[in-house]
A and B are shown apart, each in its own frame.
Chain A
Amino acid sequence: NAGVMQNPRHLVRRRGQEARLRCSPMKGHSHVYWYRQLPEEGLKFMVYLQKENIIDESGMPKERFSAEFPKEGPSILRIQQVVRGDSAAYFCASSPRSWQSSYEQYFGPGTRLTVT
């Protein structure tokens, strides 16, 4: 059973460009969370999605950031007009939300975004 997949693993963008980060959850998981990790800090929640729905986006900046999880295909975190402060590791986690194991979140390897 493959784990959470994220691509690309490393992404370099110049200031003002767009960054698209992709996340494929574990098989059978229909809930996806995005977290951001700044150097030497813990992970900060950004957005929680279910298929075709945004459940909670309270941690996501109001401007330039958006996320989706379509019926088919991976979840996408999109950052428009990137700035140097967006440089960080972005992690996706998925959860089964089954009644037996509703709470566990399993993380992908992350995408390390560098803005030059």
Chain B
Amino acid sequence: EDKVVQSPLSLVVHEGDTVTLNCSYEVTNFRSLLWYKQEKKAPTFLFMLTSSGIEKKSGRLSSILDKKELFSILNITATQTGDSAIYLCAPLGAKTSYDKVIFGPGTSLSVIP
């Protein structure tokens, strides 16, 4: 059965700290992995990773995938209070009729001033 584990589940840091969020997965016929940020409402898309070792960056956020070891990390440097959110890891696996996304439980990040 497909499985996604995120760690830590919860994290509290001070503004300016750097954080690393982890995602390990076991997904049949892996295709790609997506990261989402969920604040008060809907998840919003951050990154889509398909190749190992290629870092994707957007401002202070970056992410990388290791398909051999079946994990991904999301880094946030110089954290700000606006980074407080739940970060969801979502690998896609090819099923019979479509590529299915499996959402992890999320890491709840709180950034305090």
Same assembly: no
* B contact set with A: CB distance below 8 Å: none
